């Protein structure tokens, strides 16, 4: 029940998927903020009181992709976002992308179609609770 006050920012351009993610996260007692573009996400990061985790897709609406967001987020002076774990959930599975995300500082990479929502969410949960234990 610790999750109640945990806030997840979800970046996903596909509306049905976004809906499902939101529903499932909320079922798991997360507070969910959904956005469909990097631009919007950046705004929310600043506006929100806190963000505990970020659910990120690669292709998003607008010019910028998930990679741009991770790069922006992990910038040294970005205190608000720098330490927030980013879970990349994407179908864009090319190995170069995966390795780019990981090297930029993403926490984990899930291939959307290969994982059940349950699996992803439980991993996120685990990961976040681990963090809180530190």
- Binding residues for another protein (CB under 8 A): 14, 16-17, 20-21, 23-24, 27, 58-59, 90-98, 111-114, 116-118
By beta-carbon proximity to another protein, the closer residue of 86 and 110 is 110
* Minimum CB–partner distance for residue 58 and another protein (Å): 7
By beta-carbon proximity to another protein, the closer residue of 94 and 103 is 94
* Minimum CB–partner distance for residue 97 and another protein (Å): 7
Query: Distance between CA atoms of 70 and 105, rounded to whole angstroms?
Result: 7
**Which residue in this structure is represented by tokens 């999750």?**
3
| 34 in Cβ contact with 18 (< 8 Å) | yes
Locate all alpha helices (DSSP H) within 15-65, ordered by sequence. Answer: 15-27, 38-47
* Minimum CB–partner distance for residue 48 and another protein (Å): 25
Taking only Cα atoms into account, the Rg of the chain, rounded to an integer number of angstroms, comes to 13
């Amino acid at each position: 029940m610790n999750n109640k006050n945990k806030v997840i920012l979800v970046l996903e351009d596909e509306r049905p998927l976004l809906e499902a993610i939101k529903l499932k996260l909320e079922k798991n007692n997360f507070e969910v903020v959904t956005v469909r573009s990097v631009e919007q996400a950046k705004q929310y990061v600043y506006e929100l009181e806190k963000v505990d985790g970020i659910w990120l897709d690669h292709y998003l609406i607008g010019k910028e992709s998930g990679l741009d967001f991770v790069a922006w987020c992990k910038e040294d002076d970005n205190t608000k976002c720098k330490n927030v774990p980013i879970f990349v959930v994407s179908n864009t599975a090319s190995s170069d992308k995966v390795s780019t995300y990981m090297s930029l500082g993403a926490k984990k990479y899930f291939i959307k179609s290969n994982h059940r929502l349950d699996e992803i969410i439980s991993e996120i949960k685990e990961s976040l609770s681990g963090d809180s234990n530190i």
